[in-house]
Amino acid sequence: MVQKIALEEHFLSPGLVDYWKPTMTEVAPAFVEQLYKRLTDFGDLRLATMDKAGIARSVLGVAGPGVQAERDVALATRKAREANDFLAVEIQKRPDRYAGFAHIAVQDPRAAADELERCMRDLKFSGAMINGHTNGMYLDDASLAPFWERADALGAVIYIHPTDPIVPAPVLNGVPALRRATWEWGFETGSHALRLVFSGVFDRYPNAKVALGHMGETLPYLLWRFDSRAKLYNVKLAKEPSDYIKDNIVVTVSGVYAREPLMCAVEALGRDKVMFAADYPFENAEEAGHFLDDVAIPEDLRADVAYNNAAKLLKL
């Protein structure tokens, strides 16, 4: 069993539960209870699961939507800070097993920048996890320049985690099995990342790094198409879209446990851009761990995806 660093592992702090519960209305109550128990546990239950999956260290981030759903700017800022302080206390209890992604309220971009810096400098977090759009505002919004300036200066990794779209796509009407994790979230989150590329965010902030789960939300498969359409539509960027995806975006294997998409991501983006994640507790961490243990790839690549790439990127 190869030792792993897992990058998309979730928790809930007391002040954020009321944002999470409304997202579970269509989930069986017994399963919601199980999820809540796991999200709020930092002891034996979580650690035992990590051990079974071969996870040496989990990078913890808030289960969505968190304050991305809050419209009161001051309240969002305060609750994000409280969540980060809560997580810092839990990490300090087991610093060899846990690391953290900051929870950020981008509703106030300057306060968001300050909180990102506080979390990375003072709390020693590894970057931030942002749960998709914030009340319909995506991370390429011009108002977020102060946040991206700070992320660029810090070399921060910003993990964009899926969330529900503001308005479900009509093409999904009548086929609920395609909603959320099956297809909807991948399109929503991949599109979010592409907004950063095509709007020039990485031209302005070249040191910023974005992480995507689920083997890159289909982006590695479509690099040629992005480049060809950018030429056709005369998109004004300093480089081709694929260059930004290769240079500024890293991906994790969360929720996609098959060799073919893994190798597509490795070959499209580079072997140093693919990392492990289990998406605990929403995905089966043992299944994730056993996939990487058993998949037919060279042992040096297995070690890089499992541990080395994340350790280097996040300075763990």
91-143 confidence digits (pLDDT tens)? 999 999 999 999 999 999 999 999 999 999 999 999 999 999 999 999 999 99
Residue 126 and residue 8 in contact, taking contact as beta carbons nearer than 8 Å: no
Decide if 96 is catalytic.
no
Q: What backbone torsions phi and psi does residue 271 show, to the nearest 5 degrees? A: -65, -20
Distance CA 20, CA 182 (A): 19
Per the confidence metrics, is the pTM higher than 0.95? yes
User: Which of these is catalytic: 243, 279, 293, 300?
Assistant: 279
DSSP code of residue 205 = -
Q: How confident is the model at residue 250 (pLDDT cuts 50, 70, 90)?
A: very high
Q: Determine the pLDDT at residue 141.
A: 98
Residue 65: cis peptide before it, omega within 30 degrees of 0: yes
Token duo for residue 256: 């996609």
- Long-range Cβ contact pairs of 279-282 (< 8 A, separation 24 or more): 279/8, 279/9, 279/10, 279/213, 279/254, 279/255, 280/6, 280/9, 280/10, 280/38, 280/46, 280/49, 280/58, 281/10, 281/34, 281/35, 281/38, 281/39, 281/49, 282/10, 282/35, 282/63, 282/181
In this structure, CATH architecture of domain 4-314: Alpha-Beta Barrel (3.20)
Q: How many Cα atoms within 13 Å fall on the side-chain side of residue 233?
A: 12
What residue ranges in 191-305 does DSSP mark as E strands? 209-212, 249-252, 274-275
Q: Residue 270: pLDDT above 90? A: yes
Residue 69 and residue 19 in contact, taking contact as beta carbons nearer than 8 Å: yes
pLDDT tens digit string along 17-74?
999 999 998 889 999 999 999 999 999 999 999 999 999 999 999 999 999 999 999 9
